[in-house]
Amino acid sequence: MTPSGQTPEADHPSTPEAIRAAAFQLFGEHGFGGTSVRAIAKVAGVDPALVIRHFGSKEALFLETTPVEDYFEGQFDGPLDTLGEQIASFLLGKADARMLSVFTALTRASDSPRIRGRLREMTSTFATNLAARLPGDDAYTRALLVSAQVSGLLSALSTESIAPTADRDKVAKLYGRAMQTLIDQY
- Give pLDDT, residue 2: 41
* Helices (H), ranges, the chain: 15-30, 37-44, 48-55, 58-65, 83-94, 97-108, 113-131, 139-158, 168-184
Burial letters 30-46, b for 16+ CB under 10 A, else e: ebbeebebebbbebbeb
Distance CA(122)–CA(184), nearest Å, equals: 23
Which of 102, 111, 17, 28 lies closest to 55 in space, CA to CA? 17
- Give pLDDT, residue 108: 82
Which amino acid makes up residue 69?
E
- Give pLDDT, residue 107: 85
- Give pLDDT, residue 134: 95
- Give pLDDT, residue 159: 84
Distance CA(9)–CA(1), nearest Å, equals: 9
Please identify every stretch of the chain with a pLDDT value under 70, giving residue numbers as ranges.
1-13, 67-70
The model's pLDDT over 89-106, given as tens digits with 9 standing for 90+, comes to 988 887 777 777 778 888
pTM of the full predicted structure? 0.76
Question: Looking at residue 162, what DSSP letter applies?
Answer: S
